[in-house]
Structure 1
């Protein structure tokens, strides 16, 4: 059941927040692996740090490559008002994350900006980023009264 408060680890953002995406195994055919989307929790800090400081992640961001655990904690685990972090888990492992912030100014409080969206290098191409974005859209439209969601995309060229 969804409430207006942040859900605990047993709850997900919405019924559409559980997505089945293929899991690739070199020996067998692809199988469905459920991806659960939830709010970030304090125990996730070391997984987020590993994900956000991975060389394949840092390459595509404007962030410095040597963020400390404390910096990650302050930005994503203990965020300012209006900032949210969702994580995607598969088999209880964090395989992706999405952060977004709702604009605090009254005239543009209906606008939110997504940044960052990160999927672990070993799990890319499996629909995890799409599942995170869908969950963010659901959360912003249904619960936060956001009517405009902005996202900057950097593509390999």
Structure 2
């Protein structure tokens, strides 16, 4: 079932939908977030983001069902952006991640003049890895015991994309 996906800037009033999205079992599993984060805490985190941070949301029928943050680094790495994203469990596989990634790549290439975008993804998140590879990201290395997830240490794959 194909639905129209609107991609737009994240707004403060999206906090409740973003909190719900990031509290989903599969969505939180794929991120560095922790489960059971309140709307108030999510609102505070959203307000505290540094300058240079670009945030997108994917919306279906008025509901935020995906989020992507891109942070431009500073100094001698000002040509680099880092990405983190998540999609609501109930909307996975509907093109939300693809739409968000396309918007981020467009922003990075055409408006921010980023030469490099990098990200980390759990080594067992094959769906996300496939998405990133479709957008030109390459595997650059494995970060062993990168983070604690669901009761065990998990390795992450470091990926990067250079603007063609």
Q: TM-score, normalised by structure 2?
A: 0.69
**Over aligned residue pairs, what C-alpha RMSD do you find?**
1.7
Deviation at 1:109, TM superposition (A): 0.2
Residue 85 of structure 2 is aligned to residue 136 of structure 1: no
Contact 1:41–1:77 at 8 Å: present in 2 too?
no
Q: Could you say what secondary structure the match of 1:33 adopts?
A: coil
Task: Please list every run of 5 or more consecutive structure 1 residues that lacks an aligned counterpart in the other structure.
Answer: 1-22, 24-31
Q: How does 1:95-134 map to 2 (within 5 A)?
A: 95-104=65-74, 106-115=75-84, 117-134=85-102
> Are residues 1:89 and 2:59 paired?
yes
Structure-2 residue corresponding to 1:10 = none
Q: Deviations over 1:35-60 (max 9, x none)?
A: 11000011111111111122222223
Structure 1 residue 156, shift from structure 2 partner: 4.0
Q: Is the 8 A contact 2:30 2:121 kept in 1?
A: no
Residue correspondence of structure 1 range 2-151 to structure 2 within 5 A: 23=1, 32-104=2-74, 106-115=75-84, 117-151=85-119
Alpha-carbon separation, structure 1, partners of 2:120 and 2:87:
16
- CA drift at 1:63: 2.3
Deviant stretches of 4+, over 3 Å: none
Question: Which residue of structure 1 lines up, in the alignment, with residue 147 of structure 2?
Answer: none
CA distance in 1, matches of 2:91, 2:45: 24
**Residues matched between the structures, number:** 125
Name stretches of at least 5 consecutive residues in structure 2 with no aligned partner: 127-164
Between 77-86 and 59-68, the greater mean CA deviation after superposition: 59-68
- Give me the whole-angstrom Cα distance separating, in 1, the residues matched to 2:12 and 2:78: 27
